[in-house]
Amino acid sequence: MSALIQNTPEWKAMRKENIGASDAPIIMGVSPYETAYGLWQRKLDLVPDRFQTKAMERGHDLEEKARLELEKMTGLLFRPQVKFHPNKSWMMASLDAIDVTETSIAEIKCPGPQDHNLALQGKIPDKYFPQLQHQLEVCQLEMGYYFSFDGEAGILIKIYRDDKYIKEMLEKEKEFYQCLQELTPPIMTNRDYVLKDDCQWKSDAFQWKSVTQKITELEKEEKRLRESLISQCQNQSSMGAGIKIMKATRKGNVDYSNIPELSVMNLDNYRKPSSEYWKIMG
């Protein structure tokens, strides 16, 4: 349990430092709104926070009304609350509804017609499944509720804990959390790139691929000729036809991983500032 109040500056800052339930669908790759790379950038303040859409505003405005309807349907008294995992300090959940005994939780959604129609069929949209499993894990519960509210009436669906899925989710969430701590970006998807389709881009891209192919072929030929010339030296420094070939020796690189004194040092204290670079991939 946490004394943090949702939607306060302190709560928003805390969410950036931890992995919340709403992050789970993004990390698991089922969110239609954001990718893991985009979430990583946002948590590190490398890009602005997402602006609140009309749908998000509607959901926020209807949440209290939906919670009251949920209480009527279940006979339980619910309140919003921030909870942390009992064993994983980086894992938390900002719950829409948890009862006073902390044995019943519900995720409240005030969705558009498509998602609400799924609820009418007894189905939970796939994009919300990781969020619900994350909440069950944080609260150490076997069952929770998904509550879809259209503004007037609600549909209540039970969801049960899926231990196999949670195990996979925890691995991916921990990996993402390490990316945050190490300032290492997660693997990007095609959704993380801006699609370029203009004539100038196409022309330059075609020429770049052609040039890099020629460079590759030249490097292979240079390696073949280099090896042939060295073999002709017969282990002696040689010259002729405008080139010289000299045999030399260089010191081996230091294997810092085998220096025991360094194992207890934080080498990040000696790291130079990070710098940007561009990488072109064919």
Pairwise CA distance, residues 160 & 255, whole Å:
50
E runs forming strands in the chain? 78-84, 92-99, 105-109, 143-149, 154-160, 238-240, 243-245
Would you state the pLDDT for residue 1?
A: 56
Q: How far apart are CA 26 and CA 33, in angstroms?
A: 8
Rounded to whole angstroms, what are the CA distances from 33 to 22, 50, 60, 264?
11, 10, 18, 42
Distances (CA, A) of 139 to 15, 169, 251: 17, 15, 57
- pTM of the predicted model as reported, rounded to 2 decimal places: 0.80
pLDDT in tens, the chain (282 residues): 567 888 888 999 999 999 999 999 999 999 999 999 999 999 999 998 877 778 778 878 899 999 999 999 999 999 999 999 999 999 999 999 999 999 999 999 999 999 999 999 999 999 999 999 999 999 999 999 999 999 999 999 999 999 999 999 999 999 999 999 999 999 999 999 999 999 999 999 999 999 999 999 999 999 999 999 999 999 999 999 999 999 989 899 998 888 888 888 887 788 888 788 788 888
Residues in the chain, overall count: 282
Quote the CA–CA distance of 221 and 253 in Å, as a whole number.
Answer: 28
| Token representation of residue 100 | 């006073």
Rounded Cα–Cα distance for residues 225 and 29 (Å) = 48
Cα-based angle 233, 237, 242 (whole degrees, multiple of 5):
85
Question: Which of 3.20.20.100, 1.10.10.10, 3.30.70.980, 3.90.320.10 would CATH assign to domain 9-190?
Answer: 3.90.320.10
The pLDDT of residue 19 is: 98
Amino acid (one-letter) located at 15: R
| CB-CB contact of 84 with 91 (8 Å) | yes
